[in-house]
Amino acid sequence: MKSPYTLLDLYYKSVGRGAALDLGLSPDPRGIINEIDVKSLTEFGNLVKQTFAVNLAKGATLTASNVRGGNKAKFGPQFLVDDNRYSYWATDDKVTTPTLTIDLHSPKTFNVIRLRENIKLGQRIEAVAVDAYVDGKWEQIGEATSIGGNRLIRLTQNITASKLRLRVTASPVAIALSDFGIYKEPVHLTAPKVSRNKKGEVSIITEAPVSAIRYTLDGHEPTSSSPVYTKPFVLNEGGVVKARSFEGKGQQSECAYASFGYAKTDWKVLDATAPNEDWGRAENAFDENTGSLYSTLKKKARNSRSRSALI
């Protein structure tokens, strides 16, 4: 069973990158979708609907650095907010890295940016960056590679600004962008991530700034009265760490947890089959990083089997 926020994360990583979201749902022995799944899916659907109900860029003044043939009536940037997937802002053939300024006229708070190309004309844009005018200067707040039929940029924190700037940073040909939108995800709280390094130091981080991260070491789920996480702490003898993000009054994330054994602070390699020094060092086997690995495979023999021993 996936929670509404896990489903939302999958949505951004699939639909938000121009792909499809297939959850592979199947009925239970009664021939129906389980009630728990129905509840989670319904909440997920409501989150998506609430997030994209209002495009906060509607009513903005859009100014483009270039318009194809100077024909604003046919290729102007106003088509980016008209809800038509196939009307579009286009540039001259030689202009492949244009900029677009969006004057919202008043401060708007958002955390999602949506971009779409006129996919009937092919996928053209290879990279973009988005800036916000904050405290009298432009600051980059997001970026993305290929756009295609749909691209969602989920920001790591809420942004409040009255002016934005879109920069196309890579495109082999003239652009044909059909949509620009900014949206506010209703609840921007995600479960913290709990990790520990080889020294036994536990770190708890979130994707977005929150009022507080609270944690427990006794097996109970964190509440508003649990200790506040302020900096990494040492957990040499292992245990279970549970953490939760809190924001404002009554807002809290799902509970995250991680189980650790004894810290590997003093562990060292005594002997090991020769590793691939480029990416498969023997120390990777116990560095507390699940993304690294110890491997003896060579570049020319990665598909062959090898026997290795670690003492």
Same structural domain, 74 and 108: yes
**Which CATH number covers residue 250?**
2.60.40
Q: What is the pLDDT of residue 310?
A: 38
d(CA 27, CA 161): 46
pLDDT of residue 309: 41
Q: What integer pLDDT is reported at residue 126 of this predicted model? A: 96
**What predicted TM-score, i.e. pTM, was given to this entire model?**
0.68
Same domain, 164 and 213: no
What separation in angstroms does the CA of 143 have from each of 115, 184, 275?
11, 17, 37
Tell the residue number behind the tokens 């691939």, with chain if given. 276
Q: What is the pLDDT of residue 5?
A: 79
CATH code, 123: 2.60.120.260
Q: Are 126 and 96 in contact (CB under 8 A)?
A: no
CA distances from 58 to 85, 92, 143 (A): 15, 25, 21
187 confidence band (pLDDT: 50, 70, 90): low
Query: What tokens were used for 8?
Result: 């939302």
Q: If you average pLDDT over each of 32-46, 78-92, 182-196, 277-291, which comes out highest?
A: 78-92
| Structure tokens, 75 | 């290729």
- Asked if residue 172 is part of any domain, the answer here is yes
Note the Cα 85 to chain centre separation in Å: 24
The pLDDT assigned to 308 comes to: 41
On the question of pLDDT at 27 being above 50, the answer is: yes
The last residue of a domain, from among 123, 154, 183: 183
Number of domains present in the structure of the chain: 4
- Tell me the backbone φ, ψ of residue 72, rounded to 5 degrees: -70, -30
Identify whether residues 254 and 283 lie together within a single domain.
no
How far, in Å, CA of 139 to CA of 255, rounded? 33
The answer to whether residues 283 and 172 belong to one domain is: no
The DSSP H or E segment spanning 260 is strand 256-260
Asked whether the predicted pLDDT for residue 300 surpasses 70, the reply is no
For range 110-124, the mean pLDDT: 95
Neighbours of 202 (CB within 10 A): 21
Domain that holds residue 176: 61-183
pLDDT surpassing 70 at residue 18? yes
Query: So what's the pLDDT on residue 158?
Result: 81
N- to C-terminal Cα distance for the chain?
40
207 belongs to a structural domain: yes
Confidence of residue 138 (pLDDT cuts 50, 70, 90): very high
Residue 5 structure tokens:
């926020």
Q: Is 206 a member of any domain?
A: yes
Residues 203 and 176 in one domain: no
Over 80: is that where the pLDDT of 234 sits?
Answer: yes
Residue 299 has pLDDT above 70, yes or no: no
Is residue 303 pLDDT above 60, yes or no?
no
Percent of the chain with pLDDT over 90: 66
Mean pLDDT for 177-195 is 86
Least confident of 98-107, 115-124, 298-307: 298-307
- Which position has the higher pLDDT, 299 or 177? 177
Among 183, 211, 235, which residue terminates a domain? 183
Strands 233-234 and 201-205: antiparallel
Range ranked top by mean pLDDT from 33-47, 182-196, 248-262? 33-47
In terms of domains, do 40 and 72 share one? no
3-state DSSP call for residue 200? coil
